Structure 1
């Protein structure tokens, strides 16, 4: 039996590849960056391929923590390096491979989570059966049905990723694929047995009675639900999901039902509309899907809007309301955007009364002067027509104050400062400031959540006295311009040691070679600033390879990395890949899962991916509102914008964006969120929530 701290699974690890090619030393002037990058890209690809295979091996042995950790920070670092190097290689396929390595990581992580969830569900199912609790057994079996389907989907997607990686990099990932396929086949076979002994399949048939449907004149749809043995689900209230909206209908003695289809976001013309029978969680019946064809017609709604106050400046609150109606009927669940000029400042949806209300903080990007607040339904060629309403507002200019300080360091000139409003001395967040030393070129920096900035510039004056100038000047904004200067006295800063000096002679691994190329913050010698001219000889793995970095100006911005948290505490892992005789005690001693986990787990298990996406967003919204002081009423896109303005690191911004985009699909799109996207949003929300609690 394999365990996370040893055992057979660890003995099956894929070894980290070594580069045993031997190349004679060459003059630095004759070695191209492309040649250097090709070898580095190959090593990185083999390393990440080995990590993917090790994760698959750990998963097959139920070592879930290990399966995730193998694809943790180190894999992310290699991937980041690979993306940078891919742009300099002679092969165009490296860019494609980089995307596949990233997708493979996500699919492998999701597959690990789903397999762990399935095995936990299986143990709970067996326990319920042994105790004679058929209702609990059915509920668990239905959840397992969805999880098994997710595993099949993730497995197929992961295999496609690995196939593409093999085709573009020529590395062999067949052993990892074999482990994935064996794990998936085992679960598929197990679920087939459970389905046969516990659940009953159904067949849903539907047809449209009316040929057309619109919001003002809904179309009638009729259908019937039969079981796999030919009987009907008669005289019952059943739940149907049409597109992304659910409703309850009553079947008659023949299992026949009728319902109304009232389109909002459906596209115009003849459309195939999806409908799903959604049994209760403890039902013996399985769900089924069908479609009906109907011609969707458009209705133009009335849109009215109001704002207050009628004059605002940078950071001021603007209360905006929009109401959408058709005749006397309120139009709920349609998207509404609020924009000022060309800047979209909020996105939301109408509530049950057809009204959307937002509190907007005026961003810097809106130019001052007389402007229009535009409220609009951003539809085109949909059942509800796109309309808009305009309300005037006066945007006043806010004066700013800029400060700057400069000092010489060994790395160059350290420049820092702050941009804030004059009246309230509040920080101006996320705005560009141009820096210049003497008559040299300018460099752009951006203010952080405190309105501050700091960077190191190259010293072009050879330690002579010089003026450092900071300038804020945005022509299309509501913030006033500002300039500040600082005099840098003559000094004798030592500067960085030249690349290739004695301080570099211990860089004997491919890891440090990559760090020099990419400016990793693990290697301070590699901080080239704005440019470094020179070359160095560096020994590489295998003892015989010597590559040169020739006269080039490398500037790589170090990315702030957040520690990656895994899932919330997992139950004790059995290390047993078999599903034939799981230990029921493996789950009986678990600590209760957090409320967030309970909710998203229920939504994912029941296939309600829209609700899972919305729950993920709600959690992220709450964390960021507290963490960064973001207004509780911020819309989803405003939440992302405010996070950027508060200086949230790039990696975390990408996580927030995944959650926000998935939420927007759940709230606005005519179809439900794809399972993989909902799972990715939940995973990002877990990470953000975990980091927010530390």
Structure 2
């Protein structure tokens, strides 16, 4: 087509679709019932379909901002309206179409970002080649491999979205599909040429020497790495990843190596174990993988623990230690949970000697009374058996103060207040029940300052009424509290807030109605205090050893420093970009997520004076307290949540999650380096 390699394939005019057509009178902005639902759904579908196609055209023209903007706020509004209208239509397929329109928007946005990244990488690649910097060219070419693969996958997913939309609506998206296919084909061809001129493919073959493997009796594995022309990678230290752990081995003159497989999280019985050759970021070689089959046998470790002090209340500090030992060997890189009753108060992983040390603050969700702190390895039917140790502790009740105020607004009543301990510490993420007069109740949740705020609509006319706030959770270590205020008759403000101790309350924060500043986990219980944070940063940032663990898609929750090895030369030390791209290239999405978090932690710890030992949730809280902008906080939350999944969840993060975390980390680093 006469276009620049890797560049835009088309040059067409992008038109922002007007929100009008033959069914303009059914514009959902003015439709208040289901009378015209079918016609409105058609109108909305055509509007969104036009924007999807225009985004594809803009992308082919390298108009990235335009490609994103046509799928911006207006598209989101129309999608929300379509979802609402779909429930009133006579067609069941509209619900399916709504999901596809949402998925198409996300895939189109992601495809736009990836194509833009690829063309930027291509420009950097060309520059490096022109300057004769072959090392930089190889690093960039390897990053482009991942990006090109992502573009192909995103393009396939988007085509499927378009086909499903066409099958469930009257919208024709064939032009958009043509644009997508031409864009992805152009990049695929470009990358094939770059691979041919810069990189060398490899073949990894492995076989087990031993038939069984356990933690106490590892299995030996032999292998060889050959290049695509049949030569071998001889007499060289190479990095391998066996499931969730990386290690460096030495090949001999024939390219042959031996290494040991020492299972921890692997399931029992005959297992197919993946092993991958992981080239360095600036290597000319591409990665390859193979599998071997071995019988995994179980070993039961001894777990011991210690907790101090033995009497605690809400927010008090617990110092917890645990050791996981097989014979005299510490079992490193296995998860350990500390729990009281049904509440997990900390999750972490053992260090090189099989021990963990955690500083925990007692959350509200632990009931008061005589309790047991359980330290356990949360495994079942794994190479390391699930075992636990118990230590007694007494949890005492902490008294609370509740305050509330009320004032009238146009058509409603603003009610706000605060929940604190008697010592004045805010109580975060707890439910407070509000009632005006004899009317119905409304539940709100305290924010990180212990504050809450909500609006009652049409509160019992204009007469003077009593507003009651109640905190009375049955299973908690916090005492109950009640507070009242008077909502004055007519318009105007109410009385000053009166707390459960009869004293006026302090100033209030502005909480989002019914939500907490921290994420909500399974069962709808908010992780209310940073004391339940799961991981201590220095463990991620420790120096990488010869056999360092990296979480894998097999469900291992082991932790590691995800940084690849670096030499003493500044020229060959991998950057954050190098490490992230390398892990994403090789499909090690957990490690990429952890590299992203480490980079973000380093920036924010320096920028906001946050302690190096801050946990990931403490980093989030401290950043918010230091006034980090809302959009940057959203990026940080993405990185932190993805890191937490990579470190502790029973399954790995997927590609899109890891890429999002790396992208957000890149944005945060970019802002921090300015």
TM-score under structure 2 length normalisation: 0.77
SS in 1 for 2:408: strand
SS in 1 for 2:318: strand
1: CA distance, partners of 2:134 / 2:309: 60
Instruction: Give the 3 Å change call, closer, same or farther, for CA 559–168 of structure 1 in structure 2.
Output: farther
Contact 1:338–1:344 (CA under 8 A) maintained in structure 2? yes
The residue that corresponds to 1:433 in the other structure is 432
1: CA distance, partners of 2:426 / 2:453: 15
2: CA distance, partners of 1:205 / 1:17: 59
Contact 1:35–1:89 (CA under 8 A) maintained in structure 2? no
Instruction: Give the 3 Å change call, closer, same or farther, for CA 427–91 of structure 1 in structure 2.
Output: farther
- Decide which of 10, 13, 27 is 1:11's aligned counterpart: 13
The residue that corresponds to 2:658 in the other structure is 678
Instruction: Give the 3 Å change call, closer, same or farther, for CA 332–49 of structure 1 in structure 2.
Output: farther
1: CA distance, partners of 2:480 / 2:367: 13
Q: Deviations over 1:13-39 (max 9, x none)?
A: 3524524237799xx9xx994445555
The residue that corresponds to 1:210 in the other structure is 210
Deviation at 1:185, TM superposition (A): 0.7
Q: Deviations over 1:138-174 (max 9, x none)?
A: 3332232222222222222222233333333442222
- Decide which of 611, 622, 625 is 2:591's aligned counterpart: 611
SS in 2 for 1:11: coil
Deviation at 1:463, TM superposition (A): 0.9
The residue that corresponds to 1:285 in the other structure is 285
Contact 2:617–2:640 (CA under 8 A) maintained in structure 1? yes
SS in 1 for 2:365: coil
By relative contact order (CA 8 Å, sep 6+), the higher-ranking structure is 1
The residue that corresponds to 1:146 in the other structure is 146
Q: Deviations over 1:15-70 (max 9, x none)?
A: 24524237799xx9xx9944455555444443333333232222212222333333
1: CA distance, partners of 2:650 / 2:399: 45
1: CA distance, partners of 2:138 / 2:24: 62
Contact 1:346–1:637 (CA under 8 A) maintained in structure 2? no
Contact 2:303–2:388 (CA under 8 A) maintained in structure 1? yes
Structure 1 segment 158-557 matched on structure 2, within 5 A: 158-422=158-422, 424-491=423-490
Deviation at 1:180, TM superposition (A): 1.6
> Which runs of 5 or more structure 1 residues have no equivalent in the other structure?
3-7, 494-555, 561-594
Instruction: Give the 3 Å change call, closer, same or farther, for CA 340–670 of structure 1 in structure 2.
Output: closer
Which is further off, 168-177 or 183-192? Answer: 168-177
Contact 1:234–1:255 (CA under 8 A) maintained in structure 2? yes
Q: Deviations over 1:168-221 (max 9, x none)?
A: 344222222222211111111111112222222221111111111111111111
Contact 1:429–1:645 (CA under 8 A) maintained in structure 2? no
Contact 1:38–1:89 (CA under 8 A) maintained in structure 2? yes
SS in 2 for 1:100: helix
2: CA distance, partners of 1:91 / 1:635: 50
2: CA distance, partners of 1:118 / 1:640: 31
Deviation at 1:101, TM superposition (A): 3.4
Instruction: Give the 3 Å change call, closer, same or farther, for CA 440–660 of structure 1 in structure 2.
Output: same
Deviation at 1:386, TM superposition (A): 1.5
The residue that corresponds to 2:502 in the other structure is none
Instruction: Give the 3 Å change call, closer, same or farther, for CA 375–38 of structure 1 in structure 2.
Output: farther
Structure 1 segment 570-585 matched on structure 2, within 5 A: none
Asked if residue 113 in structure 1 is aligned to residue 93 in structure 2, the reply is no
Asked if residue 21 in structure 1 is aligned to residue 20 in structure 2, the reply is no
Which is further off, 453-462 or 334-343? Answer: 453-462
Contact 1:450–1:646 (CA under 8 A) maintained in structure 2? no
Deviation at 1:475, TM superposition (A): 0.8
1: CA distance, partners of 2:622 / 2:220: 45
The residue that corresponds to 2:549 in the other structure is none
SS in 1 for 2:347: strand
SS in 2 for 1:139: helix
Contact 2:338–2:373 (CA under 8 A) maintained in structure 1? yes
2: CA distance, partners of 1:679 / 1:434: 41
Q: Deviations over 1:347-371 (max 9, x none)?
A: 2222222222222222211111122
Instruction: Give the 3 Å change call, closer, same or farther, for CA 137–620 of structure 1 in structure 2.
Output: closer
Instruction: Give the 3 Å change call, closer, same or farther, for CA 188–124 of structure 1 in structure 2.
Output: same
Instruction: Give the 3 Å change call, closer, same or farther, for CA 672–410 of structure 1 in structure 2.
Output: closer
Instruction: Give the 3 Å change call, closer, same or farther, for CA 669–462 of structure 1 in structure 2.
Output: closer
Deviation at 1:652, TM superposition (A): 9.1
Instruction: Give the 3 Å change call, closer, same or farther, for CA 157–630 of structure 1 in structure 2.
Output: farther
2: CA distance, partners of 1:237 / 1:24: 68
1: CA distance, partners of 2:617 / 2:90: 39
Instruction: Give the 3 Å change call, closer, same or farther, for CA 141–356 of structure 1 in structure 2.
Output: same
Instruction: Give the 3 Å change call, closer, same or farther, for CA 163–691 of structure 1 in structure 2.
Output: farther
Deviation at 1:228, TM superposition (A): 1.8
Instruction: Give the 3 Å change call, closer, same or farther, for CA 329–366 of structure 1 in structure 2.
Output: same
Deviation at 1:289, TM superposition (A): 1.4
SS in 1 for 2:116: helix
1: CA distance, partners of 2:92 / 2:224: 54
Instruction: Give the 3 Å change call, closer, same or farther, for CA 24–296 of structure 1 in structure 2.
Output: closer
Which is further off, 626-635 or 324-333? Answer: 626-635
SS in 1 for 2:252: coil
Deviation at 1:606, TM superposition (A): 6.5
Instruction: Give the 3 Å change call, closer, same or farther, for CA 488–135 of structure 1 in structure 2.
Output: closer
1: CA distance, partners of 2:36 / 2:183: 39
SS in 2 for 1:54: helix
SS in 1 for 2:136: helix
Deviation at 1:343, TM superposition (A): 1.3
Deviation at 1:444, TM superposition (A): 1.0
Q: Deviations over 1:545-601 (max 9, x none)?
A: xxxxxxxxxxx99999xxxxxxxxxxxxxxxxxxxxxxxxxxxxxxxxxx8667645
SS in 1 for 2:406: strand
